[in-house]
Structure 1
Amino acid sequence: MRQPSTTLETGPKAKERLSDVAYDAIKKDIITHRLPPQSKISEGRLVDSMGLSRAPIRSALARLQSEGFVYLQTSKTQLVAPLNLARCEEVFHLRNILEPDAARQAAGKVDAEELHRLNEACAKNYTAGNADEEYELLLANKEFHLAIVRASGNDLQAQFIERLQDIAMRILWVSLRVSNRSIVWSEGHLEIIEALIAGDGDRAYKEALVHLTNGQDIVNQILKHSSVLRQVNLS
């Protein structure tokens, strides 16, 4: 884990910022499997590697626990949450229900320039095996979908879908590593963008659902036929 840059600040706001720094760094390591599923989390090692005190580390781990990324094995032992094929199916099932509906509600309300910018970021080439570049690609994909959900105006739905997107990033990261190429997001995104800009809610719903189910099929094929499953507890 790379040490995040910190400043010598004091007070509640500074502590909150340090907690956010720790949260972002640990979450990234979980998503990119630098902290693999079911691996033990050591507060002491995180303190040493990040150069932070125990307070922001503990606050970050508590937040990650509430979001399902970390769980307590014993009163003193925390583990990274497991990732299995059943969980993958659950995540896609919920996304297939919620995100097309959000796209229908967002039709005619989106920021076209923002969506095209994020779509270009999703189609960007990356260096296979470079966790930082792969993570940026996944973040762009997440932000593309969240931009649509937020445009729908349903804040509660947006919060829930963001949680699903974070779990999906752990799954999609494995597929990037296995395939050594990005899942083809850009073409499906263009169809969605066109429908959203045109204000065609029914078409936006259909294109979003087709995009999600196609992506699910690709991921399932990769995950079910790869030896990488054994390395990341996806068996």
Structure 2
Amino acid sequence: MELNGQRPEDYIYYYIRQQIIARELYPGNKIVEEQLAAETGISRTPIRAALKRLSYEGLLVSYPMKGSFVAMPTKKDMQDAYECRKLLEAEATRCACYHITEEELEELEKIFKQQILVHEAHDMHAFLEINEKFHLVIAKASRNSFFQKYIQELTVRCNVFLLFYDKFQVTPLEDSFAIREHKVIIDALRQRDPEKCYKAAIEHNQSTLDQLNEDKI
């Protein structure tokens, strides 16, 4: 087995995530450690470390004496997370418009261009990582450490929903709501318009939730 320079724990972590993206693992499927060890040649210790990491992020759930299973997020889970995230990000984006620097705006533009490239390549792993950076730059620009902390936690949890239910892999770039809405957010920040910033963040989170609900039906 070729690890490509990765630690065994990281290899297993991304191995399972990729199976979820490829719809080879579904919500409720059991993760069998013995099978993972046989498929990858990796020992049980790094496998268990990877499973613990995936459980912390919400991709897996673990039960004593039963093992680990792919999580089964419900519509209520998504609704609750996005309602909270929507309000936090709206206020954080409004605050950011007063404090964001030119360097931070340029960073957002750079991230936005990277998002376009990874979307064209349909690289879900890379898109989620870059998407998280985009939102955290704005949270940081709010100059409120609590916005940063809780938005980061909610972003990690919402990534779980995107991995399970988003149609990223089959959505053409021109049909991507995320790309269009991120551009609107950047423009509102550049204009230093607090109400436009607030509205753009609200609409972005709501449209993401609406699409996830549609895809889950």
**TM-score, with length taken from structure 2:** 0.78
2:199 partner amino acid = K
Structure 2 CA distance, aligned partners of 1:30 and 1:200? 39
Counterpart of 2:49? 59
CA contact (8 A) 2:96 2:142 kept: yes
1:142 counterpart = 2:135: no
Cα 1:100/1:3, change in 2 over 3 Å: farther
Alpha-carbon distance in 2 for matches of 1:31, 1:203 = 34
SS class of match (1:19): helix
Please point out which of 150, 166, 187 is paired with 1:175.
166
- Check the 8 A contact 1:67/1:163 in 2, yes or no: no
Residue 196 of structure 1 is matched in structure 2 by 189
36-45 or 167-176, which moves further after superposition? 167-176
Q: Which has the higher helix share?
A: 2
Aligned partner of residue 183 in structure 2, secondary structure: helix
Deviation at 1:193, TM superposition (A): 0.8
Letter in 2 for 1:190: K
Q: Which amino acid aligns with 1:169?
A: N
C-alpha contact 1:122 1:186 (8 A) present in aligned 2: yes
Give the corresponding residue for 1:12.
none
Out of 166, 191, 198, which is 2:156 matched to? Answer: 166
Alpha-carbon distance, 1:155 to partner? 4.2
Tell me, what secondary structure is at the counterpart of 1:185?
helix
| Residue among 81, 86, 89 paired with 1:91 | 81
Shift of 1:197: 3.0
Deviations 1:84-141 (A, max 9, x none): 22222122112112111221232232512221122223334536xx6xx233333333
Q: Which amino acid counterpart does residue 42 of structure 1 have in structure 2?
A: V
Q: Distance in 1 between matches of 2:112 and 2:168?
A: 21
Among 116, 124, 135, the alignment partner of 1:123 is 116
- 2: CA distance, partners of 1:28 / 1:154: 34
Q: Contact conserved, 1:70 with 1:81, CA < 8 A, in 2? A: yes
Q: Which residue of 2 aligns with 1:14?
A: none
Where does structure 1 lack aligned partners over 5 or more consecutive residues? 8-16, 225-235
- 1:30-62: per-residue Cα shift (whole Å, max 9, x none)? 455443211111122223334432222212212
Q: Which amino acid aligns with 1:168?
A: C
| C-alpha RMSD of matched pairs (Å) | 3.0
Taking the aligned partners of 2:112 and 2:177, their CA distance within structure 1 comes to: 11
Give the alignment of 1:214-225 within 5 angstroms: 214-224=207-217
- Runs of 4+ aligned residues of structure 1 deviating over 6 Å after TM superposition are none
One-letter amino acid of the counterpart of residue 120, structure 2: Y
Alpha-carbon separation, structure 1, partners of 2:111 and 2:144:
21
Deviation at 1:71, TM superposition (A): 1.7
Task: Give me the whole-angstrom Cα distance separating, in 2, the residues matched to 1:48 and 1:154.
Answer: 47
Aligned length: 210
Match of 2:100 among 87, 101, 109: 109
Using structure 1 for the length normalisation, give the TM-score.
Answer: 0.73
For 2:27, the aligned partner's letter is P
